[in-house]
Amino acid sequence: MSSYLLPDSESNFESNRTTTQHGLEKQPFIFETDFRGHMEMYSPPEVVSDYLEQHHQWFRECAQPMQAEAMGDNGYTVTIGRFASFGYEVEPKMSVIFEVSQEQKYLMYSVEVPDNQSLGYEVQYQASMELNKIDKEISSAISSDYPKKVVATLPSEVTLVKWCLNLRVGVYFPKFIYRLPLAVIQATGDRLLTQIVRQVSPRLTLKVQKDFHERLNLPIPPKSSRYLEKISV
């Protein structure tokens, strides 16, 4: 995957280290995970680009069962779901901006949640996405079980949408959590964060593919057209 620089964003975890509430520790415990992946769209890049840029028409519906509320013209506040570990439960929420860049490249990055009421955690999300044109002959449409007459109706150009993402979460745990070995807390938190991405990302990818292809009366790409990989850094 060709590299694409994300906006330079200084961590805000440091600036909030003095925050404490209801016995929460003053310093957040930092968890992090990185992924990359791709999906195929059976249309040329310019058609896919037009669709992606109209995100207000599809983002909230495709994000379900996550709750997504519009925030300005290019942002959303997303409630990811409820997760628990060590007897401590959290319902992560983050606000993100969807930014269209040049040459069919896109950014999505987190900003401060409006009306943040000391949630007990902080989320930093950064993702880049780019569109790549590939020939239909090397796409998943050829290796799938589609009838030849269906394959023949597809555009000659297919778009491979590639992305990468970095997710960092700082959690202000209650003091009792720190009775556990720090290595156990770190490993468990990183693993839980990875599980969240593995759960949310494929579901969102499939919904976006379905929505796009149904709008154009095209067959929905098979499972082999979607890919997700954790990056070891």
pTM of the full structure: 0.82
Q: Is residue 106 part of a domain?
A: yes
Q: How many domains does the chain have?
A: 1
> Quick one: which of 36, 54, 52, 37 has its CA closest to 223?
37
User: What count of other Cβ atoms lies within 10 Å of the Cβ of residue 79?
Assistant: 15
Q: Is residue 173 part of a domain?
A: yes
Per-residue pLDDT tens over the stretch 214-227 = 999 999 999 999 99
Q: Is residue 149 part of a domain?
A: no
Q: Is residue 12 part of a domain?
A: no
Query: Are 67 and 60 contacting, i.e. CB atoms less than 8 angstroms apart?
Result: no
Peptide bond into 7 cis (omega under 30): no
Per-residue confidence (pLDDT) for residue 44, from 0 to 100 = 96
Give me the mean pLDDT over the 86-100 stretch.
81
Give 19's pLDDT tier (boundaries 50, 70, 90).
very low
Q: Is residue 14 part of a domain?
A: no
H or E stretch at 106? strand 105-111
Per-residue confidence (pLDDT) for residue 52, from 0 to 100 = 94
Q: Is residue 63 part of a domain?
A: yes
Any bridge partners for residue 134, and if so which?
A: 158
Give me the mean pLDDT over the 178-195 stretch.
89
Per-residue pLDDT tens over the stretch 47-58 = 999 999 999 999
Query: Are 25 and 179 contacting, i.e. CB atoms less than 8 angstroms apart?
Result: no
Q: Is residue 22 part of a domain?
A: no
Query: Are 89 and 81 contacting, i.e. CB atoms less than 8 angstroms apart?
Result: no
Task: Kindly report the CATH number assigned to the domain that includes residue 77.
Answer: 3.30.530
Q: Is residue 98 part of a domain?
A: yes
Query: Are 126 and 165 contacting, i.e. CB atoms less than 8 angstroms apart?
Result: yes
Range of the domain at 181: 29-36+45-126+164-217
